[in-house]
């Protein structure tokens, strides 16, 4: 079984599990795993020159700590994953004030949050809780200098882009 299929399978399993099934895990642990798994579905335009994948969590110490633990010694496409303070490739925020306002930063950084209406406010991926399950919402209009795998988009609610034009 290929690595991509394993990651896709793991994500699909997580996406289908309810919080009741994950009751032995805290919401922070579940979100940290989602962030880590989502990173595998992102392909940055500058991927070939990147030496590591940087994940920033500026306003949620619990998720930051969990992510630091679960990404230790892990890689994405032979690049180590680091939880850092700057030069973010992935940014998880809990407060809208921490969404970058500079367009050049926003173009290079995948923003993720669990806040309601995050994608309506310029965020890329919103982790929604629907019927006890996390269901990602992706706003195609907010995607920058990277692509998101169709495997991830298949398990997400999509808004923006051609999707809205066809509705």
pLDDT in tens, the chain (167 residues): 444 444 444 444 455 444 455 468 888 999 999 999 999 999 999 999 999 999 999 999 999 999 999 999 999 999 999 999 999 999 999 988 888 776 667 889 999 999 999 999 999 999 988 777 889 999 999 999 999 999 999 999 999 986 544 44
d(CA 105, CA 125): 16
Q: Hey, where are the domains in the chain?
A: 3-165
pLDDT at 99: 81
Q: Does the global pTM surpass 0.85?
A: no
Give the residue from 17, 58, 59 showing the smallest Cα distance to 37. 17
Q: How far, in Å, CA of 160 to CA of 62, rounded?
A: 31
pLDDT confidence of residue 164: 47
């Amino acid at each position: 079984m290929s690595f991509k299929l394993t990651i896709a399978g793991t994500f699909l399993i997580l996406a289908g599990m309810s919080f009741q099934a994950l009751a032995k895990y805290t919401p922070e642990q579940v979100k940290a795993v989602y962030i880590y798994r989502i990173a595998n579905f992102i392909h940055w335009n500058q991927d070939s020159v990147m030496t590591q994948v940087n994940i920033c969590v500026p306003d949620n110490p619990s998720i930051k700590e969990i992510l630091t633990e679960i990404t230790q010694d892990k890689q994405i496409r032979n690049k180590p994953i680091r939880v850092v303070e700057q030069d973010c490739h992935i940014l998880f925020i809990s407060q809208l004030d921490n969404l970058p306002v500079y367009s050049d930063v926003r173009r290079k950084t995948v923003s993720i949050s669990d806040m309601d209406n995050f994608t309506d406010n310029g965020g890329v991926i919103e982790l929604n809780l629907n019927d006890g399950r996390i269901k990602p919402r992706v706003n195609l209009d907010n995607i920058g200098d990277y692509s998101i795998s169709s495997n991830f988009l298949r398990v997400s609610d999509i808004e923006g882009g051609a999707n809205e034009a066809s509705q």
